[in-house]
Amino acid sequence: MKYILSLLLLVGAVHGDEIVDALQQHYVDRDELDAKKLNDASTAGILQMLGAGAKLLSTAEAVSNSTVVIPTKTLTDEPLARVEVVQPDIGYIRLTDVTPETPLALDTELKKFADAKVTGYILDLRFANGTNYSAAATVASRFLQPGTVVFTLKQSTGEPQVFRTTAVPQTLASELGSAPLMLLVNGHTRGSAEVLVGALRAQERGIVIGGPTAGLPVAWKDVQLSGDRVLRLATAKISFPHGGATFPGGLIPDIMVKIDPKTEHAAVFNLQTNVTLTASLAPRVKKKGYSEAELVRAFRGERIESPGLTLEAESELGANPMALGATAAESESEPVRDIVLQRAVDILKGIRVLLSWQ
């Protein structure tokens, strides 16, 4: 059947009836080519061609796996999850959802960054969502000239809706339009957060770092079919000027960073509030203690072989074996867990050095 499917896809619907007639008359196993099999093969070919744009589900699957459509109300999550200056002069903001409240909350923090003489910015949109596309255009306005076409919402019916940037408050620093900007993303960057990244990147206004984004359409529609089946179709998508779209392939970062999903989730969500990002990115030293047998030998005054134990430490240890943990511990550096953020910080520091040479 896969050879029949390939033929139908290759030649196209114009010759579909002729192909079916020829197969039913001359194919060696034409007895197997009943109408249902041919119809199933055609359907499978169409679904394969559309990829993520169409899914055939059972009614139960459609109910249990409902999807987001164009919203009628805003989300209630806090738009900003973490705001901080990564020393000495990098402004970091992690967004959770791009909602109508996001621009105002963002303006407040950007004003503080200006007062702190921030020279580079990081927008962390990993695990960020949102279903308000006007808000995405408004956030993009903070980093682009007003009146810029940033993206177009194309729906299966009706005219495409074009989104442009707007004028921003005068309290914001004028350098926002040119300061280095890093955009952090992963496979959970979706919705209006994904669109925001694509809009800024399409205007060459930001370096995208991390993993490919979700690549979901803006809206779906479920069409009830016979036989307890539901056809779920993509009915709206976002496209950007000069080509490109979030659906169906998602956004491919400018700088790909491979990181274990569990490690990244823990690095983003489990960082304690009393630990600064600056501290979390600093090299950490893991101390290695001694075994019980080594402790016994130390109390007996016997020599302990250790590459990290100096003569001075050995002397002190002989006089005071309890100092073992403080003076004789071996250590090794642990890698930074959030390597995506680390890469963004390193790039911004490198840009700062290059600019200082000019």
Question: Which pTM was predicted?
Answer: 0.74
Mean pLDDT of 14-34: 74
State the pLDDT at residue 51: 67
pLDDT in tens, 248-260: 889 999 999 999 9
Out of 9-18, 33-42, 115-124, 170-179, pick the least confident: 9-18
CA 98 – CA 111 distance, rounded (Å): 19
Give the model's pLDDT for residue 244: 83
pLDDT at position 331 over 60: no
294 pLDDT above the threshold of 90: no
**Per-residue 3-state assignment (H helix, E strand, C coil) for 147-214:** CCEEEEEEECCCCCEEEECCCCCCCCCHHHHCCCEEEEECCCCCHHHHHHHHHHHHCCCCEEEECCCC
pLDDT value at 2 more than 80: no
pLDDT score at 311:
41
Q: How far apart are CA 330 and CA 332, in angstroms?
A: 7
Average pLDDT value for residue range 227-242: 86
pLDDT band, residue 273 (cuts 50/70/90): confident
Which of 7-16, 171-180, 195-204, 289-298 is the least confident region?
Answer: 7-16
Q: Percent of the chain having pLDDT more than 90? A: 42
For the chain, give the mean pLDDT: 80
Q: Are 246 and 198 in contact (CB under 8 A)?
A: yes
pLDDT at 308 exceeding the cut of 60: no
User: What is the set of domains in the chain, with CATH numbers?
Assistant: 2-53 (no CATH), 80-269 (3.90.226.10), 284-334 (no CATH)
Q: What is the mean pLDDT of residues 35-50?
A: 76
Q: Is 57 helix (H, G, I), strand (E, B) or coil?
A: strand
- Asked whether the bond before 79 is cis by omega within 30 degrees of 0, the reply is no
* Helix pair 133-140, 102-115: axis angle to 10 deg: 20
pLDDT at 292 over 80: no
Instruction: Find out whether 133 and 218 touch, Cβ atoms under 8 Å.
Output: yes
Mean pLDDT, to the nearest integer, of 305-318?
46
Give strand pairing partners of 95: 80
